[in-house]
Amino acid sequence: MRANARRGARWLAGGWAVAVALAAALMAGPAQAAPAPFTYSSVAWTGTTAIVAGTDSAGDLYYWYEPDGGSTFTEQLVANGQHITGAPAIGWTGSTVIIAVSQGSQLDYWYQFAGTRSWHKQQVAAAKGTSYGPPAIGWTGKSVIIAAADSTHTLDYWYESADTGSWHEQLVLAGVYGVDYNTAFGPSIGWTGTTVIISSTDNFGGVDYLYQYAGTRHWHFQLVAAGIYPPFGGTAIGWTGRSVVITASDQYGHLGYWYQPAGTGTWHGQLVAKDVYENVPAIAWTGSSVVITAVSVRGNLEYWWQAAGTRPWNKEQVAHALGAGQEVNPSIAAAGDAVIITAVDGSGNLDYWSQQYGTGSWNKQQVAAG
């Protein structure tokens, strides 16, 4: 995020097989500088390609992609002058890149079919007298799912079954969410194979977990961690195949991690670090390890990983706060045999790092100059 903002990361996985070659032929060359500094980014993995959504301070929405083994991101301007609130959310359905953004009074959904260049837009919802915060997006295998809170402290959920073009809305919980709706304090969303899962910070600074079984309409609530003081910032959620995992940091700089094995209903907490900037950390699952990224109070971009079945958290520094200043707004995804991270530096440039598992070596690229 920006130096005084916070952000989250969004879960998804999938596989991309065809879009890269055609799109690269049509739109080759390095990304150009944006007309304004970048503010937020979100990264995901299609199975063969890193995909990134980003916004700049002028409210423009951008998209970049880079095939596995590539060295240059290809850029597309999705929309300009959108007055976007907070971070975009990006995902992959197996055949389509999907992006959700908030423009304050409305939530928008953009999608692009693999092998094409055109971006298509749908309005997910329009707020009446309120404003939406940044959304979260995911894919269940059958439906695109989105969650967002509004300025009436209500958490809402929408889903659109594949190829229907029709959004269905549900009230998840009213009166306790959305206190920071116009920052990056949005919810985080995921899919376990049978259940839609959401994490969010409530108005009391607590970390909450909400879930809905497939084919039902009822939302279940659990308090993961109380945060009366110090309160927690935004949260990030993921699924390991066996457990739901959540991370969040509080105003004292404590980075927390919680996990709940499927079917147990019990949350287990761990302290990951004590010196992170009060923002929204990002979380992902690699197939063998839980991985987390966040910015330290010194402005360094940090990375932690914990192998399945173990308790120690291993720490690595991804980037030191030098030159253009601290890296902010981190997002993370698992990418085959690698971990990928995006963040924005102090000059508004959007940066990208990748690391092959177990090497301890981070490779940096600039996605686009701001």
At residue 330, does pLDDT exceed 50?
A: yes
Predicted local distance difference test score (pLDDT) of residue 205:
87
Q: What is the mean pLDDT of the chain?
A: 87
Pairing of strands 328-335, 314-319: unpaired
Alpha helical stretches, state H, the chain: 19-26
Q: What are the pLDDT digits (tens) for 179-220?
A: 444 445 789 999 999 999 999 998 888 999 999 999 999 999
Q: How confident is the model at residue 14 (pLDDT cuts 50, 70, 90)?
A: very low
The string of DSSP letters for 313-346 reads PEEEEEE-S-TT---EEEEEEEETTEEEEEEE-T
**Which one-letter amino acid corresponds to residue 253?**
G
The mean per-residue pLDDT over the stretch 2-28 comes to 34
Predicted local distance difference test score (pLDDT) of residue 153:
86
308 three-class SS: coil
Predicted TM-score of the model (pTM): 0.89
Q: How confident is the model at residue 280 (pLDDT cuts 50, 70, 90)?
A: confident
At residue 17, does pLDDT exceed 50?
A: no
User: Closest Cα partner for 369 from 34, 29, 8, 144?
Assistant: 34
Order of strands across the sheet that contains 338-344: 328-335, 338-344, 350-356, 363-368
The mean per-residue pLDDT over the stretch 165-179 comes to 84
What domains does the chain contain, in order, with CATH numbers? Answer: 19-368 (2.120.10.10)
The string of DSSP letters for 16-30 reads --SHHHHHHHHS-SP
Answer for the pair 45, 351: CB distance below 8 angstroms, yes or no.
no
At residue 177, does pLDDT exceed 50?
A: yes
Q: Which residues share a beta bridge with 156?
A: 148, 171
Question: Measured over all CA atoms, what is the biggest interatomic distance in the chain, rounded to whole angstroms?
Answer: 54
144 or 299, which is more confident? Answer: 144
Q: What are the pLDDT digits (tens) for 112-121?
A: 999 999 999 9
Q: How confident is the model at residue 323 (pLDDT cuts 50, 70, 90)?
A: low
Q: How confident is the model at residue 26 (pLDDT cuts 50, 70, 90)?
A: very low
User: Closest Cα partner for 9 from 359, 330, 257, 340?
Assistant: 330
CA 360, 366, 367, 370 dihedral sign is positive
Predicted local distance difference test score (pLDDT) of residue 23:
37
Judged on CB neighbours under 10 Å (0-12, 13-18, 19+), 181 is buried
Name the least confident of 5-19, 28-42, 157-171: 5-19
Q: Which residues share a beta bridge with 352?
A: 342, 365
Predicted local distance difference test score (pLDDT) of residue 162:
87
User: Closest Cα partner for 187 from 167, 211, 168?
Assistant: 211
Name the least confident of 12-26, 85-99, 282-296: 12-26
Answer for the pair 236, 248: CB distance below 8 angstroms, yes or no.
yes
Residue with tokens 């598992």: 357
Q: What are the pLDDT digits (tens) for 252-276?
A: 999 999 999 999 999 999 999 999 9
Predicted local distance difference test score (pLDDT) of residue 36:
84
**What is the rounded distance in angstroms from the CA atom of residue 244 to the CA atom of residue 335?**
20
**What is the rounded distance in angstroms from the CA atom of residue 36 to the CA atom of residue 348?**
8
**What is the rounded distance in angstroms from the CA atom of residue 66 to the CA atom of residue 75?**
9
Q: How confident is the model at residue 327 (pLDDT cuts 50, 70, 90)?
A: confident
**What is the rounded distance in angstroms from the CA atom of residue 7 to the CA atom of residue 236?**
9
**What is the rounded distance in angstroms from the CA atom of residue 155 to the CA atom of residue 203?**
12
Query: Both tokens of residue 226?
Result: 């109380």
Residue 34 DSSP one-character state: P
Answer for the pair 84, 109: CB distance below 8 angstroms, yes or no.
no
At residue 293, does pLDDT exceed 90?
A: yes
